[in-house]
Amino acid sequence: MTVKALLAEVQNAASIAIKNRHRFMVMICCSELEGKIFKLARRVFRRYREVAGDRDLIVVGRSRFLEMAEEYFNGKFVHYRESSSILGETYSSLLLDLTEGFHPNDLGVIVETISEGGMIVAIGPHTESWGSLIGRWHKELVSDPYTASDVTPRFYRRFIKRTIEAEGVIIFDAEKRRLIKKYGYREDRERKREIRIPEAKEIKRKLYKLCATQDQVRVLQMFENFFNRMKERKSVVITADRGRGKTAVLGIVTPYLISRMHRVLRRPVRVMVVAPTPQSVQTYFRFLKKALIRQGMKDFRVKESNGLITVLNSRFARVEYVVPRRAMIEKEYADIIIVDEAAGIDVPVLWEITKGVRYAVFSTTIHGYEGSGRGFSIRFLKKLESDKTVEIERIHLEEPIRYGKSDPIETWLYDVLLLDAQPAELDEEDIEAIKEGKFTFELINKDAMFNDERLLREFFGIYVLAHYRNRPSDVVILADMPNHIPFRVAVNGKTVCSIHIAVEGRLSEEMIQEMTEGYKPRGHIIPDLVLKHYWNYDFPLLPGVRIVRIATHPSVMSMGIGSFGLQKLVEWAVKSGMAWVGSGFGVSPELLRFWMKNGFSPIHITPQRSETSGEHTVIVLKDLKTRVVESLNSMFVRRLLEWLNDELSDLDVETAIQLLHSLSKDTGIVRPEVCEIDRKRLKKYFQGLSLYEYISDIARPLAKYFYSRADRAELDGKEERALIAKCLQLRPWWQIEVPEDVPFRVLVGAIQKVWKWYESDKLR
């Protein structure tokens, strides 16, 4: 086979791809990056353009690759580290650097910028070399004291195997001048569906003409019908696979929503756009500007931050991007809240952002590197639907924007990155076995797992459904890193609980000394935290297990499967000589309850919320050989009592209650002295002759002391909510929720019980 055969195959593939509105890929394999490789790639692009016409080109790679490519190509050049900047952009063709492997998250972003009829030329190692390829980012991820030589590139091995088997991919050995794999895709001749704009419409035809698919037209029609009645609270939920235009259609429909609300409010409408990152909403703002002009709202001002649009102001509306953490505080100022990539935001945070809001619009990706929209559907929508004051409308987009259905490159990408993994289908026999507790707990051999597609997809399919944030890199970390281990709980041979752990600790005294001076060891999250927050020099010496992820099949949650898996994992850790088991997670009352029920104690919470997800992270630990967790927990609760009236004043009260209830050893806070005058003041308060505001200086130290002791009195749920929210978190009355009761009345009863306990306290 010669280069002529490759060019003929490119010509054939280009013809079929253009007719089908598909994309195709040419992988050029070489052992060394030389000028002749770029010359070959240039010939490939020339032949492609003979069929496709002049097309724009984006070149993505590392520094040396980009420097060499500039001698042979004209186009947009982007370094891998800047790949997130092209999120949402569209190009006709791509030259991609795979010579040193790739970061899987980057691959998902880059490939999905290529439109219908587009060609991807990837320059990379020989097919047989991928089996031993250690990428640069492997070296950045491997945990101390391991090195790159301890990494096993299972992900790359599967990547090249699945690529060789994929349709729509041509592979050429540049040195042997041999065509390893032909295009191998049938000619479907799928045509783009003609867009039909409805005749009777309230939304202007000019806005409908911005739609690229009939699915987007359906979204606009839905908004016309759904928002006809302005008095009710409403929520719209838009779900789609990646590349279906859900973010763009939000920008198209926003001017219509503004115009409707502006007529009612007679003032500028306040639209809050919430997303994990500002990069993810640039497509929204790009289409919003076009739509505003077509709506007749041409006079607007744009504000940018670091080259990204964040605010759009006009006499009709202020549309502003807000990070989730800030949105929780400022939501009351918004008339409409639009949450894009909602799956990337923690469910309690989402709930807090939109609670009580009149109009809320959610969009999320089901399959893609942004996160799991189906996890969002299972966890968040269930809670939203329980609110009977909200009318909910759902719509799902299926038609791709950039390319036609059944695009082979999308199929290949979702396969190699496991974006479309699905959990096992459970039948009645499986459910019955679960009810009877017929589980098995298994340590999974990683080599076997990555050679068994069913096992692999069942394992990661649970994460896709159960977790609100997933990244392709999660797969690689588990597959390739030597200290990461998978386990599963199975029923009738089917995976019903996936567990991913990392072995941490056993650090040298030299490294521990470096850590005290600021060094952060790779992959030792819990030992590093315990040393730097508690200055415990012995803990990093001990081996332990950090549970990176544990998730149960969504069809059989709350049936004891996760607890069974934890119990068995702890038994395995004991047999393996581990000293502790721990985990870190975005805290919610449900998750915290699960871990504490299984004997884990919280020892840390991040006082600040994550900017992107809006969540606080909690670290929990369980002793296996040490007796350190009780002391760490005691010190943690002592700190928590101070943080609750500062950075954690907006922490969910139910979460605060559970964290405070984790205490099993007194914190050592000194018993406050209450003088005779203060006693008389309290008495008047209890008699209803004084207000809380006049005795708050007494109540606050009493409440703090109350929760610093392990043997405190019993309060009911309402009393605890009022006591913690008012006396510890210093919240205003209107922020204190006690169902079917009055906060200040409940608080009187709570403080009376605390006072009675204080008076009978054995340590006075």
In a domain, 659, yes or no: no
- What number is the average pLDDT over the span 736-755? 92
- What number is the average pLDDT over the span 132-153? 90
pLDDT of residue 348: 75
- Among residues 654, 662, 656, 594, the alpha carbon closest in space to that of 634 is found at 662
Higher pLDDT, 761 or 345: 345
- What number is the average pLDDT over the span 332-346? 87
The band of 144, judged by pLDDT with boundaries at 50, 70 and 90, is: confident
CA distance 362 to 250: 10
Write the burial class of residue 455 (CB in 10 Å: 0-12 exposed, 13-18 middle, 19+ buried): buried
The band of 369, judged by pLDDT with boundaries at 50, 70 and 90, is: very low
In a domain, 405, yes or no: no
- Strand 300-305 and strand 308-314: pairing? antiparallel
- What number is the average pLDDT over the span 204-215? 92
Q: What percent of the chain has pLDDT over 70?
A: 95
390 lies in the same domain as 433:
no
Predicted confidence (pLDDT) per residue in 471-482, tens digit: 888 999 999 999
pLDDT of residue 609: 82
Q: Which of 623, 644, 665 is the last residue of a domain?
A: 644
- What number is the average pLDDT over the span 600-605? 98
pLDDT of residue 314: 93
CB 492 within 8 A of CB 427: no
pLDDT of residue 439: 92
**Percentages (nearest 5) of helix, strand, coil residues in the chain:** 45, 20, 35
The band of 193, judged by pLDDT with boundaries at 50, 70 and 90, is: low
375 lies in the same domain as 476:
no
Order of all β-strands in the sheet with 169-173: 76-79, 57-61, 91-97, 114-124, 24-29, 169-173, 178-181
565 lies in the same domain as 512:
yes
Task: Please enumerate in sequence order all residues whose Cβ is within 8 A of that of 382, keeping only pairs 6 or more positions apart, or say none.
Answer: none
Q: Using the predicted structure, report yes or no on whether residue 371 has a pLDDT greater than 50.
A: no
In a domain, 189, yes or no: no
Q: Using the predicted structure, report yes or no on whether residue 229 has a pLDDT greater than 80.
A: no
pLDDT of residue 370: 46
620 lies in the same domain as 497:
yes
In a domain, 412, yes or no: no
Whole-number mean pLDDT of the chain? 91
In a domain, 406, yes or no: no
Predicted confidence (pLDDT) per residue in 303-324, tens digit: 998 888 999 999 999 999 999 8
Q: Please, what is the end-to-end C-alpha distance for the chain in angstroms?
A: 92
Number of separate domains in the chain: 4
The band of 228, judged by pLDDT with boundaries at 50, 70 and 90, is: low
CB 395 within 8 A of CB 362: no
In a domain, 665, yes or no: no
- What number is the average pLDDT over the span 223-231? 69
43 lies in the same domain as 97:
yes
Q: What's the per-residue H, E or C state across 27-53?
A: EEECCCCCHHHHHHHHHHHHHHHHHHC
Higher pLDDT, 762 or 755: 755
584 lies in the same domain as 733:
no
- What single letter denotes the amino acid at residue 217? V
In a domain, 198, yes or no: no
Torsional class of 493: left (φ above 0), alpha (ψ -120 to 50), beta (otherwise) = left
Predicted confidence (pLDDT) per residue in 65-82, tens digit: 999 999 999 999 999 999
Task: Provide the CATH number for the domain around residue 237.
Answer: 3.40.50.300
Q: State the DSSP string of 344-391.
A: GS-HHHHHHHHTT-SEEEEEEESSSTT--HHHHIIIIIHHHHT-TTEE
Predicted confidence (pLDDT) per residue in 620-662, tens digit: 999 999 899 999 999 999 999 999 999 999 899 999 999 999 9
**Domain that includes residue 680, residue range:** 676-760
474 lies in the same domain as 369:
no
DSSP single-letter state for residue 414: H
Q: Using the predicted structure, report yes or no on whether residue 179 has a pLDDT greater than 60.
A: yes
In a domain, 191, yes or no: no
Q: Using the predicted structure, report yes or no on whether residue 200 has a pLDDT greater than 70.
A: no
234 lies in the same domain as 313:
yes
67 lies in the same domain as 167:
yes
CA distances from residue 677 to 300, 342, 698, 705, 750 in whole angstroms, order as listed: 62, 54, 11, 20, 21
Please work out, in degrees rounded to the nearest 5, the angle formed at the alpha carbon of residue 351 by the alpha carbons of 400 and 304. 60
DSSP single-letter state for residue 579: S
pLDDT of residue 454: 97
- What number is the average pLDDT over the span 512-526? 93
CA distance 48 to 609: 49
Lowest mean pLDDT across 258-262, 315-319, 387-391, 709-713: 387-391
Q: Which helix (H) or strand (E) holds 488?
A: strand 484-491
The band of 440, judged by pLDDT with boundaries at 50, 70 and 90, is: very high
20 lies in the same domain as 141:
yes
Phi, psi values for residue 498, rounded to 5°? -105, 130
270 lies in the same domain as 127:
no
- What number is the average pLDDT over the span 314-341? 90
- What number is the average pLDDT over the span 221-244? 79
577 lies in the same domain as 713:
no
- What number is the average pLDDT over the span 553-581? 95
- Among residues 213, 122, 200, 193, the alpha carbon closest in space to that of 160 is found at 122
- What single letter denotes the amino acid at residue 153? P
